[in-house]
Amino acid sequence: MSPAGSIAVETPPLRHTPLYDLHIAHGARMVAFAGYEMPVQYPAGIIAEHLHTRARAGLFDVSHMGQIRLHGTAAAGALEALVPGDIQGLMPGRMRYTLLLNEAGGILDDLIATRIPDGAGDGLMLVVNAACKEADLAHLQARLGPRAAVEPRFERALMALQGPAAAAVLARFAAGVDGMPFMSAAAAQIAGVACFLTRSGYTGEDGFELSMAAADAVAVAEALLNQPEVMPIGLGARDTLRLEAGLCLYGHDIDATTTPIEAGLAWTIAKRRRAEGNFPGAATILRQLAEGPSRQRVGIRPDGRAPARDGTAILGSAGQPIGRITSGGFGPSLGAPVAMGYVDSAHAATGSALALVVRDIPRPAHVAPLPFVATRYYRG
């Protein structure tokens, strides 16, 4: 008991990824994120790390994310009961971005589902968000049995190599991986380590994600960091890169109160799934598809230099409240502030005049097309 008689609540200790010591050795500034102690930046700083990834290649530790294996030939059909994507149509070695939905059409999490390549067994590999992984695992286990066995692989390491030089760097270790198209997967040996590769990422740049046993992570990371094009990149630059690419951050731009249509993610709902209407929240989502949502996620460019952060109020041209910023900050590639947020649909057209209440002062801004920086995914 505390002196006042209340019960003290102990905060659980932060967890470490397999690359924690490597981050410390490289001078990372560590912060708490989703229950982990993670590098937010290295000595070069967020802007330098961001620009380096855009120009060459950056290595990100994303081992805090949740990896989940679904076993069995029926896994794709079973997962479709929880998401609106066409998972059964995935060929082996291909992958898809999709959404776990609740019965109101709200987004419980966004994730990547990969059909296991031929020769590696049946089923799917999922990558889910760090802050949601325990809840996602419970959700999947409660709803997929007995059609698919759900195996958490949270102990595995995961890193992302992103940027225009990523393919050339990785091909030095595994010939031919530079020919993999965007959103494809393969097994490969990297620095003598068995890795599961996907040509994917969340920066808007070309790149790969590499999954491996935790004990092998340092060897792979050091081999990649020894390449002249590669530098370590922290969570700070990962956030500015994904914001410039117009990509949603769960818990900010999307959550259980937002639908895919409001979030500008209608493209994740496959034509067959729309026709079948057999996914959670289908009635709400299909109605919004037909009639349009009352609010929409939009890109926003402040007209001045002051960045608008998460939670900033958005006003219409008459000064009336019409929404809030969900992600915002400085865009290093543009040398200017950028933001995303939700506004009433009447104000969502590109070019619409807005005001952002920054430090209690309404400052002019306008709706801008997304992405702010063109994506450079490799289509083959």
The string of pLDDT tens digits covering residues 87-104 is: 999 999 999 999 999 999
Sign of the Cα pseudo-torsion (149, 281, 261, 235, in order): negative
Q: Over the stretch 269-279, which tens digit does the pLDDT of each residue have? A: 999 999 999 99
Compute the mean pLDDT over every residue in the chain, rounded to the nearest whole number. 96
Q: What is the pLDDT of residue 9?
A: 59
- pLDDT < 50 regions, the chain: 1-3
Q: Determine the pLDDT at residue 3.
A: 46
User: Can you tell me the distance from the alpha carbon of 249 to that of 72, in angstroms, rounded to the nearest whole number?
Assistant: 30
pLDDT at 145: 84
Residue 2's pLDDT is: 42
Predicted local confidence at residue 5, as pLDDT? 53
The confidence score (pLDDT) of residue 1 equals: 42
At residue 118, the pLDDT reads 74
SS3 string of 13-76?
CCECCCCHHHHHHCCCEEEEECCEEEEEECCCCHHHHHHHHHHCEEEEECCCCEEEEEECCCHH
Distance CA 173, CA 219 (A): 13
Domains present along the chain, CATH in parentheses: 20-63+156-244 (3.30.1360.120), 294-368 (2.40.30.110)
